[in-house]
Structure 1
Amino acid sequence: MPGWLEIVIRSVVFIIVLFVITKALGKKQMSQLDIFQYITGIVIGSIVAIHVTDHTTNAVHGFLALAVWFLITIAIEYTALKSKRFRNLVQGKGTVLIQNGKVMEDNMKKERFTTDDLLEELRNNRVFNAADVEFAVLESTGKVNILPKKEHQPITPKIIGAHVAPEKEPQTVIMDGHALLEPLANASLNTNWLETELDKMNVSIENVFLGQVDSDGQLTVDLYDDKLTVAEPTEKPLVLASLKKCQADLELFALETENQDSKLLYQKNSKRMQEAIDKITPYLQ
């Protein structure tokens, strides 16, 4: 067999094997690497590179080496799941860089982490003053996670005591001009509803690049033709407008009627309607 053809065949086979091994090791292997995952990536890559480019080596030995290293990796990760002490030894643990607003110089020296490194990581987390940080830790993956002091954290509805509508994951119901049935079912919708909503927008499904339904059941679409514009969803504003009209009608009926019992009834229901509008307005805006 010609050498070039053997290299081509080995490349294809080892790519398939490497894909299978990476898939079996799980998504964690694709994320930021800890110490052992870093070593694993280097070793597996080296084994594949050697046995792909050097056709004088025995490919079987390469597969055997990959299998052994795969089993070692699985065994170490399984043991790490069972033992925190072993996990700390193999994967390492976080190092505190800032605590209670105070920089831990000894920990920084231990990790050979310079002041410039720390300031860069703070800027990456949109913090520009070390004194604004309550807690910062250098993870085993090399990433720095930061907790700003309370007064420097973003304001949330919970902090100001505001009530907001619960929000679920948007469902992608149209992709590349085709309806996706499973996401529609997850949103408790069907193709008839989808066709009706598209008709309201005067859009055909073939012209839709991406269509998503939010937790309120509103459909938003992105068209292939970026020059065309699609109106924003109006369901929630229309519901709010209808409620306000009902409340205004009740007030008008109360003013027009001469029957005192009817007047009191209209006024009572108008007040209750206004209370309902006040409660539901945050969810419809």
Structure 2
Amino acid sequence: MSEWSQIIIRAFFFLLVLFVLTKIMGKKQIYQLSFFEYVTGITIGSIAGEVIMGLDGNVWHGLVAIGIFGLVTIGVGFISLKSNSFRDFVEGKGSIFIKNGKIMEDNLKKEKYSTDQLTTLLRKKDVFNIADVEFAVLEQTGDLSVLLKKENRPLTFKDLNIKVANDKVPQTVIRDGNIVHDSLSSAGKTRKWLLDELDKLEVTIDNVFYGQVDSYGDLTVDLYDDKIQQPTPQTRPLLMAMLKKCQADMEIFELETDSEEVKKMYRKNAEKLNDAMKILRPYLNN
């Protein structure tokens, strides 16, 4: 058998050996290594490389072996995209560690995890009490995904039936003191609008290091001089304050007039303003 044939056979053989050995060692080999596992992993790789390249010091032989490993890796990735069963075999499946609030001991043993290691992974997810967990699965990557029990999940605006405005992608409109015209157009703003907003903040564009239009259309800036207090946009808070003042004025006018018809008009308009503020509050509050 020629040297080339031996290198090709050894490359494929040790690729298979390392794959099987890694599968046997479990997902910790690609996610959580102890000192011993780190040392043994390096040693195994070094031994495999030495055996593959142990015939002589020919550079071309090394290139062939590296090329085989590279091509096999690319091929496996391509086949995995086409075949679910092959992908499950190569990449593995997620292992359920906690189901319906109960630890699955058999799955822990299968993946060679202890309860201490499980609690360590949970703490990395800011979970300190196993009783708070409804479902936890060890992913193929070795990361732990955790679903808390419903009563332990953080509240959302949806839970409170509060409507909030949809966020848009913030646009950087000033960078290093220069206007970014493409981002300004994407934000639906003009150069005149930008200069007017800078005037409201009492700064000039030469003093601005970075400027960004947020999802509400407000401009925030960072100045070159860090000693100067950062100006903040006041458009939305001022508009909300103006609406509140108008509503308060309507209620005062209602109390001051003697005409029932006029009272009814002021009361009706005050209620309309109140309804409008309820709708606009998610958009106008900071």
User: TM-score, normalized by length of structure 2?
Assistant: 0.72
Tell me: CA distance 1:172–1:68, structure 2 relative to 1, closer, same or farther (3 Å).
Answer: farther
Who is 1:137 aligned against? 137
Residue 143 of structure 1: CA displacement? 0.7
Within 2, Cα distance between the matches of 1:104 and 1:263? Answer: 69
Within 1, Cα distance between the matches of 2:231 and 2:110? Answer: 58
Who is 1:122 aligned against? 122
1:185 partner amino acid: S
2:270 partner amino acid: S
State which structure, 1 or 2, has the greater radius of gyration over its C-alpha atoms.
2
Tell me: CA distance 1:269–1:183, structure 2 relative to 1, closer, same or farther (3 Å).
Answer: same
Gaps of 5+ in 1: 1-32, 48-55
Tell me: CA distance 1:186–1:73, structure 2 relative to 1, closer, same or farther (3 Å).
Answer: farther
Who is 1:76 aligned against? 76
Residue 262 of structure 1: CA displacement? 4.3
User: Alignment partner of 2:134: what SS?
Assistant: strand
Who is 2:234 aligned against? 234
Within 2, Cα distance between the matches of 1:87 and 1:127? Answer: 31
User: Is residue 247 of structure 1 aligned with residue 227 of structure 2?
Assistant: no
Moved more, 133-142 or 236-245: 236-245
Moved more, 254-263 or 131-140: 254-263
2:148 partner amino acid: P
Cα deviations by residue, 1:103-154 (Å, 9 ceiling, x for unpaired): 1111111111122211111111010011111111111111111111111111
Gaps of 5+ in 2: 1-29, 32-40, 50-56
Who is 2:218 aligned against? 218
Cα deviations by residue, 1:230-259 (Å, 9 ceiling, x for unpaired): 232111111112212332343444455566
Residue 284 of structure 1: CA displacement? 1.6
Who is 1:103 aligned against? 103
Who is 1:179 aligned against? 179
Within 2, Cα distance between the matches of 1:210 and 1:95? Answer: 46
Contact 1:133–1:149 (Cα < 8 Å) also in 2: yes
- Alignment RMSD: 2.9
User: Alignment partner of 1:199: what SS?
Assistant: helix
1:48-59 equivalences in 2 (<5 Å)? 58=59
Residue 206 of structure 1: CA displacement? 3.5
Within 1, Cα distance between the matches of 2:152 and 2:255? Answer: 52
Cα deviations by residue, 1:62-115 (Å, 9 ceiling, x for unpaired): 3x6666554433332222122111111111111111111111111111111122
Contact 2:201–2:233 (Cα < 8 Å) also in 1: no
User: Alignment partner of 1:157: what SS?
Assistant: coil
Who is 2:275 aligned against? 275
Pairs aligned (count)? 236
Contact 1:201–1:230 (Cα < 8 Å) also in 2: no
User: Is residue 87 of structure 1 aligned with residue 124 of structure 2?
Assistant: no
Tell me: CA distance 1:235–1:57, structure 2 relative to 1, closer, same or farther (3 Å).
Answer: farther
Within 2, Cα distance between the matches of 1:204 and 1:60? Answer: 64
Contact 1:173–1:212 (Cα < 8 Å) also in 2: yes
